[in-house]
Structures are given as structure tokens and as C-alpha cells.
Structure 1
Amino acid sequence: MDWIDLAVILAALAVGGILTLPALARAPLWRAALTPLASIIGSGFLVLGPILAISYGRWAPLAMAALCVAAYALGGAVRANIARRAAGPRTRAEEALDRAASWVLAFAYIISVAYYLGLFGAFALERTGIASDISQRGLTTAVFLVILVTGWTKGFAALERMEQVAVSLKLAVIGGLLAGMATVFATASGPASPGLTDAPASVTGWAALSLAFGLIVTVQGFETSRYLGAEYDPATRNRSMRLAQIVSTAIYMGYVLLLTALFDPSHMSMSETAIIALMDQIAPSLPLLLILAALVAQFSAAVADTGGAGGLLAELTSDRIAPRTGYALLAAFGIALTWSADIYAIIAYASRAFALYYALQCAIAARGHWTEARLPALWYSALSLTALAMALFGTPVEGG
């Protein structure tokens, strides 16, 4: 074991140890932040770095910052709606928009499960020697069926307990990854001479903007705080959402800055598991740790969104569609999507669905503030139109 591997493992153990401290594990704010943080990190960390580096070149950190700022602004609308909902009755227009948003979110969950399990299939087979489109899609289909059978027969209570383990493992591995990359950067012994890349962007103008629109799902997940009302009060949910977004922004920015400092985008491949080959050049321990974290995190996220979609469909139809029927519909749609689209197309579909959800959330916030504070209402209206543009014009990565 070389000393970079040692730095990776020690950092991962340190982060994991901190996350298991009883004082932190029991803190209501941190526990409330775990759900949105797990969703945000699970949504994009594995695939986003190479996509941004290859597509935006020297501008990749700026693109990452723009995605994080956009997510925080959209999160502000969700937080405003949480506070207003707690303050008292809302208008009929707000309630109608909220119901429409819930339908859109249920559909977005269905697409996101296909995204999570598509990544699961890719990472599970990465080092087996049998990875191919057919084998990955076959494994993804099998996991869809496992989740369906589990939800149909026993429910997800046991599997949902994986969430805290999954997020702790993922954050520990990310801590090790960042420590390894930072160590290589500091000692100038990496695969390339440290220093931010000067590579030009491979997409520019409208193509660059529409691609960013199609990547919004990679910073999505903060909205889950909106649905934790049975466990936490509105103030805690809003504070925990902010905390989750701040922590995830710090992680994403550190990751993309180090990635673009250590690797030449021209040597990267546009594949969902490209990060594995890159991290193999940092430390031999990282690929296995990343694969383990990916499998746990993607499966846990898929279970959570399957349960969320089933519950939403039951609520929206007054139980005419039972949760387990919702699971079956999700599995059928997800399997069809798995066999008809590649992972980059699914990312774009999920981004557009979540962008439409955020457009509706912003519209709710605009309507709620219209008679009380006109300036915030105009801000949320502009955000709603921006999110609607994301939903209409988001495009997938080319060359995946």
C-alpha cells in the first residue's frame, strides 16, 4: 500500500467515524439533512465530473458552480412554500398547482429510478469482464424485479433503513476520494501536471446552455425536505435543506476543481463509469471503494424513490392506485425506459421532469407572495420561467 492509498483510507475512516458519532447521529438538524443530502449526492456525483470536464473544458468549475447556484435558487422556492404551508391556509390556485406538482414529481421519481438502477448495473459489472449494454440492462431489469417483488410482498421498511448507512458510506468514500486527489495535487505526482486545465469547451453557446439544462437532475434531491413533515417541523426542514445544499456544493466544487486540475479532458472517456478509470490513476484502493459506495447508494436511492412514487400515486388517487400497484407501474415503465434509452438520455429525461416540478414549485411561491410581497413574487416568477425553459430545452450528453 502506498502513501496515497493510506491517505485515502485514513480520510475515509475519519469521515466515517465522524458520521457515526452519537452526538451527530442524534442531532435533529443533521438527521433531517441526511435525506436531501443522500439524494443530491446520489444523483450526480458518479457521472458528473467527466461530463463537465469533457463538455466544458476549462469552464467546467464555472458550469458546476452555475448548477449549484441554480439548485439553491430553486430550493429557495421550495423553502418558501414549506414556510407558507405552515403559516396557514393557501389559495385554491396554490393548492391546484401543488397537486399538479405532485403528479409531476411522481413521474420524475419513475424516471429517476431507471437512472439510479442504470448506474447500478453499469458499476456492478465494471470490473467483471462481462460488461456490455445487454448485460448491464439485463442486471438493471433484474434489480427492478427484486425491488418490485420486495415492495409488493413485504414493503420497503427494512430496505429504507439502508439510507443512513448508504449516505455515511458514500460520504466516507467521497472524503477518501477528495483526500487522495488533494494529496496528488499537493505533491505534483499525478497523472498530469497539476493546474486547472486550459482545454477548450467541446460545446458552446446554446448547446452548452441546453446541456446544462439537461444536467439539473445531478444536483436534484433537495426537494425531499418538503416531504418530511411527519418527522420534522418546517424550520428544521428548511434549515436542513440549506445545510444539505451547502455541503453538497462544497463537495461538488472541490471534486470538479481537483478533477480538472489533475486530468486532461482529452484523455477522459464519456461513459457512465469513467470516474473508475480516472480514480485508478490516483490510488488502487479508490475504484473498489467507489464501486461499493455506488452500489449501496444507487440501490438505496432507487428504493426510496420507488416508495415515494408509490406513496404519491396512492395519495393523489385517493388509494384508487394502491402503493404496490404504483410499484408495478414504475417497474414496467422503468424497464421499458432501460431498454429503449441510454443512461445519458435518461439523465436528460429525469432533468426535464424535475425541472417541470421546480417550475411548478416556483409558480406556487410566486402566487403565494403576489399579494404580500411583489418583489419576491417577481423573482419566483422568473425562476419558474427559467425552470420551464430547462424542462423544454434540456438535452442529453452526446457521445455516451
Structure 2
Amino acid sequence: MLLNSVAIISTLIVGWGLFNNRVRLSPQWRATVTPLASIIGSGFLIVAPLLHSVMGKWALLGIVLLSALAYCLGGVIRFNIAHAEPHLEDYPNGGIAKLEYIGQWFLGAAYAISVAFYISLFASFVFERISVTDDTVIKVATSLALLFIMFIAWLRGAKGLEVIELYAVTIKLAIIVGVLVALLTFDMSSGATWFQHEALNAIGLVETLSILAGMLMVTQGFETARFMGAEYSAYQRIMAVKYAQGIATVIYLVFIGLTCPLFNVYPIVELSETTISQTLGQAIWILPFLLLIAATTSQISAALADTIGGGGLLRELIKARLSTNVYYMLIIGIAIVLVWTSNVFEIINLASKGFALYYLSQTVLATCLLSGRKHKTRRDWLTLAGTIILSVLLVLVIVWSMPAPHS
């Protein structure tokens, strides 16, 4: 009862603080909410069992490597907000504009894949709570949920989306803090050892790294700041990327660290979409219910955001005289096909490749801008070297990554 009370009280306190008008109405916080909603919507519910099942006691190192790569890619997005966007305005038909155009096609495809992931994960959590395991029933329900998302996008468009995200992120952050405090209390009271548990399957270093590369999607979301220029200044968007990635990185590192003793006491028997809920429930019975609320708020809002963002992006790219609603249908149609042809872990890997293609276009774009500078400073040369290294790493993610072994 103590652990359950700690989780509930911590959640309520943090929720009260985040719903405070000074926080809720802050322009910078509202700018931060969209990338933050996408990052923690992508990964929080799945990242711990994924890393622990593949890397065991080295899971914390895995999230450090993923977060470091993501933060460097966030640096590229920040650079392009500051430097590429003005260039694109001055030279709308130049080579940089063509690179941006190609990258946006990759991003549109990645959005469709991520929508399938969000709703598949949401459906898995809901049906796990009511003990439904029939795969066909779950896929039918997931498809219906996607059609509902399409209906909302058709009916409302982007109007009011920021408000939905604001409340969804606030609720999820409050729940996350409650979960983390409860986990800390469990770790201290259980006396469990740290960094002793083994991976689910004994695999080699190369295969481990290729699976880790396939998890890039769980740190994705910061790139949404590139498309918020109509509402926020370049400075606000640059800071939004920094704040969103900073908050998400702290959450991921603490969460993975605190779950190390948990998975030592309750080892992962098989990897599935709901492993984290089942494992947390063995230690603290209230946590699966809190996670169900978190899954409902975050996955639906993230799916709405990516449906609307992807549909709007495709409308700009295709330039046909069709209603934006048609493009929403296209995004949902692709997502439904993926739901019926792939499982969650394969979708994660596909989404990772899709976002890696977009990030690759952004690193190449930044490299071209830096290469074109006549009088380079030492910082320019270091940044140029960094973008080239990132480009190579992203090519490896695209070619080499693979989904985690799963049940």
C-alpha cells in the first residue's frame, strides 16, 4: 500500500504543479510541449523492456548511446532552424530546397509508420487490461481506432491540437514522475541488486548494436519544431528542441536506471508490447492502471499529431488540388496496412529507418551549408566534421538496423 500511495500522491502533486497557469500558459512551455509529446509518446512505454531484454545489465549504457545520438541530431535540427530556414526563404528553388523536399517525403512516410506504432501500442495496453489476447480482434480494434483518428483529423484538422497535446503531456509527465518515485521506493525497500540481470537472449555485440540502432524511433519527435514556424519564433523553437530533449533524456535515463533492480527481481520471460505493464504490476499493482491512462493520453494525441502533420506535409509535397482530408486518409490507410502486416517491433524498426532517412537529409543539408561558407571558424570545422560523422551513423541505421527478438 505504501508504494501505491507514493505513486498516486507523487502523480497528483506533479499534475497540480504542471496545471498551474504560470506553467500551462507559458509560450515557451507550449512550444516545448509538441516535440516533448512526440518524444515521450514514442518511447516511454516500450523503451525499458526493449533495452533490458536486449542488453540486460548494460541497458543504461544503451539509453545513454541512443540519447547522445538523438541530442546530436537535435543539434542538427537547431542548426537548420537558425541557418537553413533563412536560406530556403532566400533561395526557394536552389539545391538546399531540393534536399529539404526529398527529406520531407521521407518524413511523411515515417509519420504514417509512427501512427501505426502509436495506435498498436495503445490497443495492446487496453486489451492487456481486459485479458483479450486474440491477435485478429486486437488488429480489428486497432484499425477501428485508426479510422476514428482519421475522423477526428477530418472533422477538426489541426485546430485545437495544441490544447489536446498540452493536457496529454501534462497528465503523462505527472504519471511518469509518480512511476519513477514509486520505483525508487521499491528499489530502496526491496534490497534488490543493480546491474546484475542478463539479456533475454545471448547475442553478439554486432547484433546488439544493430538492434539498438533499430530503436532510434523511441527518441524521435524533436524534429517537429522545424514545422512550428507559423506559431513560434526561431529562438523559441530552438529552445523547445533543447528543453524537450533535455526533459526526455532525464526521464529515460532515470527510468532505465530504476528498472534495473525491478527486472532483476522479475526477469523478462518474453518480450511483448505490454511487458513493462506486466512487470511493474508484479511489484506495484497501481502502476499498470496509471500506465494505461498514460498510454491512452499520449498515444492518441501523438497519433493525432502525426496524422495531421503527415497529411499536411503530403498536401504540400504533392500539390494536387485535393482536400487535406484526402491526405489524412492516405496516412491512416498506410498505417492500417502496417498494422495487418507487421508487429509492433517491426513497425518500430521501420519507423526508425524512416526517421533516419529524414535526419540524414537534414545532416546533408547542414553539411552543404557549412561547406559553402567561405571563411570557416574552428567551430564551423568541428560542426562540419560532426555532421559528416552523423551522416555515416545514420546510413548504418538505415542499412544495418533490425527489430528486437520478440514473442
TM-score by length of 1: 0.95
How far is 1:399 from its partner? Answer: 2.3
Q: Within 5 A, what are the aligned runs for 1:358-377? A: 358-372=359-373, 373-377=380-384
Q: Within 5 A, what are the aligned runs for 1:126-141? A: 126-141=128-143
Tell me what 1:236 maps to: 236
Work out whether residues 310 and 326 of structure 1, in 8 Å CA contact, stay in contact via their aligned partners in 2.
yes
3-state SS of 1:66 partner: helix
Tell me what 2:279 maps to: 278
How far is 1:199 from its partner? Answer: 2.2
Distance in 2 of aligned mates of 1:155 and 1:120 = 22
Tell me what 1:254 maps to: 254
Per-residue deviation, residues 89-132 of structure 1 (Å, max 9, x unmatched): 35822111111111110110000000001111101111212232
Q: Within 5 A, what are the aligned runs for 1:281-296? A: 281-296=282-297
Tell me what 2:404 maps to: 397
Report which stretch shifted further, 50-59 or 146-155.
Answer: 146-155
Query: Partner amino acid for 2:233?
Result: D
Distance in 1 of aligned mates of 2:178 and 2:269 = 21
Structure 2's unaligned 5+ residue stretches are 374-379
Tell me what 2:333 maps to: 332
Structure 1's unaligned 5+ residue stretches are none
Aligned length: 396
Change (3 A) 1:92 1:378: farther
Query: Partner amino acid for 1:241?
Result: V
Change (3 A) 1:148 1:86: closer
Tell me what 1:7 maps to: 6
Distance in 2 of aligned mates of 1:344 and 1:357 = 20
Tell me what 1:61 maps to: 60
Tell me what 1:384 maps to: 391
Change (3 A) 1:267 1:345: closer
Tell me what 1:23 maps to: 22
Distance in 2 of aligned mates of 1:384 and 1:340 = 30
Work out whether residues 315 and 327 of structure 2, in 8 Å CA contact, stay in contact via their aligned partners in 1.
yes
Tell me what 2:304 maps to: 303
How far is 1:320 from its partner? Answer: 3.5
3-state SS of 2:129 partner: coil
How far is 1:203 from its partner? Answer: 2.8
How far is 1:33 from its partner? Answer: 0.9
Per-residue deviation, residues 205-259 of structure 1 (Å, max 9, x unmatched): 2111111111000000011111111111111111111111111011000000111
Work out whether residues 56 and 203 of structure 1, in 8 Å CA contact, stay in contact via their aligned partners in 2.
no
Work out whether residues 36 and 248 of structure 2, in 8 Å CA contact, stay in contact via their aligned partners in 1.
yes
TM-score by length of 2: 0.93
3-state SS of 1:270 partner: coil
Change (3 A) 1:71 1:321: farther
How far is 1:153 from its partner? Answer: 4.2
Tell me what 1:171 maps to: 173
Distance in 2 of aligned mates of 1:146 and 1:108 = 20
Per-residue deviation, residues 129-150 of structure 1 (Å, max 9, x unmatched): 2232112111110011112233
Query: Partner amino acid for 1:220?
Result: Q
3-state SS of 1:253 partner: helix
Distance in 1 of aligned mates of 2:196 and 2:134 = 31
Report which stretch shifted further, 85-94 or 341-350.
Answer: 85-94
Q: Are 1:211 and 2:211 counterparts?
A: yes
Query: Partner amino acid for 1:309?
Result: G
Distance in 2 of aligned mates of 1:239 and 1:338 = 35
Per-residue deviation, residues 313-365 of structure 1 (Å, max 9, x unmatched): 11112244532111111222111111111111011000000011101110011
Work out whether residues 194 and 262 of structure 1, in 8 Å CA contact, stay in contact via their aligned partners in 2.
no
Distance in 2 of aligned mates of 1:379 and 1:154 = 41
Work out whether residues 197 and 263 of structure 1, in 8 Å CA contact, stay in contact via their aligned partners in 2.
no
Distance in 1 of aligned mates of 2:11 and 2:366 = 40
Tell me what 1:101 maps to: 103
Change (3 A) 1:78 1:140: same
Tell me what 2:43 maps to: 44
Per-residue deviation, residues 349-397 of structure 1 (Å, max 9, x unmatched): 0000001110111001111111223442232122112112211221011
Q: Are 1:142 and 2:144 counterparts?
A: yes
Work out whether residues 197 and 260 of structure 2, in 8 Å CA contact, stay in contact via their aligned partners in 1.
no
3-state SS of 2:271 partner: coil
Distance in 2 of aligned mates of 1:170 and 1:132 = 28
How far is 1:152 from its partner? Answer: 3.0
Query: RMSD over aligned Cα, in angstroms?
Result: 1.7
Work out whether residues 365 and 380 of structure 1, in 8 Å CA contact, stay in contact via their aligned partners in 2.
yes
Work out whether residues 50 and 269 of structure 1, in 8 Å CA contact, stay in contact via their aligned partners in 2.
no
Query: Partner amino acid for 2:298?
Result: A
Tell me what 1:162 maps to: 164
Change (3 A) 1:15 1:153: closer
